Every structure is written in structure tokens, then in C-alpha cells.
């Protein structure tokens, strides 16, 4: 016989805490909030300091960087910076 998960009981569902219901949210159309929202900087997308490009690398070099975990492109960038610093 296959055992199936039992549904959660109604009383064990998470209920919002007092003072945190949808009616307790601040009115963002008030002047104070409007000013704060208008003054907040908007940051969308990737940083503009990087440039997308295509570069041809040897397969073994690329595989070694990719195996090291996420962030391998940043590590290639750092290795190139180190090389540039050595060359002066």
C-alpha cells in the first residue's frame, strides 16, 4: 500500500500577525510617502561598468574556470586585470 502525505489541518495554516493585514499597509499616495518614493534612486539592469563581448579561449582554459563554480567570468576578468597590472 502506498502511503500518501496527509493534508495540513486548517488550523495549522499560517495566519497573518495582528497589525500586518492588507488594510494595515501605509497609504503610499500620501505626500510624505510620495516624496520618499520620488527621491529613491531607481536601479534597473546590470551595472554599466561592464561591456559584453565575445572572446575565443582554449577549451581547457574555459573548462578549468567553469569548474571552479559560479562567478567564473569574474575570475577570468580578475586574471586579466592581474596580467595587465604585471605588464604595467
Average pLDDT over residues 47-61: 89
Q: Mean pLDDT across the chain, nearest whole number?
A: 82
* pLDDT for 55: 94
Q: How far apart are CA 85 and CA 79, in angstroms?
A: 10
Q: Which of 4-8, 25-29, 77-81 has the lowest mean pLDDT?
A: 4-8
User: Mean per-residue pLDDT for 36-53?
Assistant: 84
State residue 69's pLDDT score: 87
Is the pLDDT at 87 greater than 60? The verdict is yes
Q: Provide the CA 46 distance to its chain's centre, in angstroms.
A: 11
Query: Cα-flanking dihedrals φ and ψ of residue 87, to 5°?
Result: -80, -15
Q: What pTM value is reported for the model? A: 0.46
Amino acid at each position: 500500500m502506498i502511503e500518501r502525505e496527509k493534508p495540513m489541518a486548517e488550523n495549522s495554516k499560517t495566519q497573518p500577525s495582528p497589525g500586518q493585514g492588507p488594510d494595515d499597509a501605509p497609504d503610499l499616495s500620501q505626500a510624505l510617502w510620495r516624496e520618499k518614493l520620488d527621491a529613491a534612486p531607481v536601479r534597473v539592469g546590470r551595472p554599466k561598468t561592464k561591456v559584453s563581448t565575445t572572446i575565443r579561449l582554449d577549451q581547457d582554459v574555459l573548462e578549468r574556470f567553469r569548474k571552479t563554480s559560479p562567478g567564473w567570468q569574474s575570475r577570468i576578468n580578475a586574471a586579466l586585470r592581474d596580467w595587465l597590472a604585471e605588464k604595467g
